[in-house]
Structure 1
């Protein structure tokens, strides 16, 4: 019997759908991703060399720890090429974000205003419903 109950609970948990928090808007899949920092540019290269040197290692944490230690032991002059690549990526990102933001303000300004007005209407209706339910409780 115990096994039957646990599968029902497991099925119920699987059926629950998580929704985004009410205050957050959904992510835009077209929005450009932020560029990697100098450390992550270094790690792209470091991961390849680490895997070649340690083919049996399956631990992501070990790669991260070794990469962090290697980055800390590097001098500023050794880090310079990675910093330069990161700066280049950052400039490209800023250009694409400017274009993205311009496109957003040009194309969707009206859509945002309509969504806000619909939201405010529903909030007013929700408040009216709550007040009505409180009055019903007082009558009992």
Structure 2
């Protein structure tokens, strides 16, 4: 048996010991349901399908997303019923996890705080951008080499040999990523005078908010406010929505992936003035979002 397979089998065995196999399985969210269908109905590499599904989802209208929302709501309702009826076996907690014991034989207290998975994804540095972009390429180079270095060692070696000029694109990517994270975090961590907490989805919690570095932890999140402003869209997403709203002849016969490829090509063929026009629309959408967010926060007080 290959080493990787043994490791995976051992990991699954350990997991089975610490988790109740009969604990209700958490349902997939609305986006995950869409992505599963997208992968099933389209062909392409994993990276191609991942990118295309993301673009397709962001350009879909609320009406197009409604079937997936209904499926997600039904799955969540079923999950809630199963959780309410769940009785943990001896030695397991209500969360399905095995109760660990300390040196004194007593159960340890679980002080771990729940983390909101809607929190913005943390930014990464230049080196990690370099590593992520070249991971596949470097893996192939290692396979064809007699020098048996690990991927991390090989990547680090190349990075350290690069000049500042060669590293510049990755440093710029890191700066943009940092700006993105700061911007999303400000939106996510809007806090009211009464202590209520609102994140980027309009979810609220009246509990204590804990900041761990740049991570936000909260608990008992309530339902989303249906009046919460829709987030701003980038120029390319606005362009994609426009094309899909007024599709060219023969468009309906194409798969999502083929449509995404054509939209990408159409975007690349725009001249400077046309691109500038879409950038202007994106700026207007940002201002629209800021106005609506200001009004929404004011009404919540």
Same-fold call, TM cutoff 0.5: yes
The match for 2:204 is 108
The match for 1:3 is none
In the TM superposition, residue 21 of structure 1 has moved relative to its aligned partner by: 6.1
Are 1:86 and 2:178 an aligned pair?
no
In the TM superposition, residue 44 of structure 1 has moved relative to its aligned partner by: 1.4
What secondary structure is seen at the aligned counterpart in 2 of 1:42?
A: helix
In the TM superposition, residue 52 of structure 1 has moved relative to its aligned partner by: 3.5
Distance 1:29 1:96 in 2: 14
- The change in CA–CA distance for 1:80 and 1:98 in structure 2 (over 3 A counts) is same
Hey, which bits of structure 1, 4+ residues long, moved more than 2 A? 18-24, 51-57, 103-109
Q: Deviations over 1:6-63 (max 9, x none)?
A: xxxx99x815526896333111111111112100100012212213334469xxx711
- The change in CA–CA distance for 1:78 and 1:56 in structure 2 (over 3 A counts) is closer
Which of 173, 183, 187 is matched with 1:99 structurally? 187
The match for 2:17 is 14
Instruction: Provide the TM-score with structure 1 as the length reference.
Output: 0.57
- Which structure has more RCO (C-alpha within 8 Å, separation ≥ 6)? 1
The match for 1:69 is 157
Greater per-residue helix proportion: 1
The match for 1:51 is 139
Distance 2:190 2:179 in 1: 17
Which of 99, 116, 122 is matched with 1:28 structurally? 116
8 Å CA contact 2:126–2:174 kept in 1: the answer is yes
- Matched residue count: 99
Distance 2:109 2:160 in 1: 38
Distance 1:24 1:74 in 2: 42
Unaligned runs of 5+ in 2: 1-12, 19-91, 93-97, 101-107, 209-301
Instruction: Provide the TM-score with structure 2 as the length reference.
Output: 0.29
